[in-house]
């Protein structure tokens, strides 16, 4: 798996309408056109620039966590990673997206695809956590 860091997000985006009715995946109800309020993606994703940035994911090792190749992830650098977090990091200068597990005296980087083995961080390895993945964004346009 590889990643592409797209850069920090700027705050102060345009507010978009939020509809109060839930939208069914079948045929929408004609009464579902009531706008509850306007929100910004900054508020929704709790973006606090310059601590938040976007990363494009390349590979299938995190698909079990719902992160697929081509997805964008919203990463927060201001959060200290804890066991169980999905992180953007570098191990010996190789960037990746993995789940961080801290076990007694061991650090383990786990893929969310069973075809990839867990990677134990060994003495002498250099692990740098770049940030914690907070959200993923998928493009559903097939063109």
Which residue's structure tokens are 């940035």? Answer: 53
Q: Which of 2, 37, 61, 136 is catalytic?
A: 61
Q: Are 54 and 98 in contact (CB under 8 A)?
A: no
pTM of the model: 0.76
- Is 61 assigned a catalytic role? yes
**CATH of segment(s) 33-137:** 2.10.109.10
Q: Tell me the per-residue pLDDT of 11-39, one tens digit each, with 9 for 90 and over.
A: 566 665 555 545 556 555 554 555 566 66
Q: Are 130 and 75 in contact (CB under 8 A)?
A: yes
Q: Where are the domains of the chain?
A: 33-137
Q: Tell me the per-residue pLDDT of 129-141, one tens digit each, with 9 for 90 and over.
A: 999 999 998 888 7
- Is 136 assigned a catalytic role? no
Q: Which of 78, 98, 111, 134 is catalytic?
A: 98
- Among 71, 72, 54, which residue's Cα sits nearest to residue 9? 54
d(CA 26, CA 29): 9
């Amino acid at each position: 798996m590889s990643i592409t860091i797209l850069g920090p997000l700027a705050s102060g985006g345009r507010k978009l309408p939020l509809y109060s009715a839930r939208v069914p995946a079948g045929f929408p109800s004609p009464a579902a056109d009531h706008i509850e309020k306007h929100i910004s993606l900054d508020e929704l994703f709790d973006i606090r620039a310059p601590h938040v940035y976007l990363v494009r994911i390349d590979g299938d090792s995190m698909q079990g966590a719902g992160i697929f190749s081509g997805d964008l992830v919203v990463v927060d650098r201001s959060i200290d990673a804890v066991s169980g977090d999905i992180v953007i990091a570098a191990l010996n200068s190789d960037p990746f997206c993995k789940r961080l597990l801290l076990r007694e005296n061991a650090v383990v980087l786990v893929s969310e695809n069973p075809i990839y083995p867990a990677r134990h961080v060994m003495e002498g390895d250099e692990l740098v956590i770049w940030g914690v993945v907070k959200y993923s964004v998928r493009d559903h346009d097939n063109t």
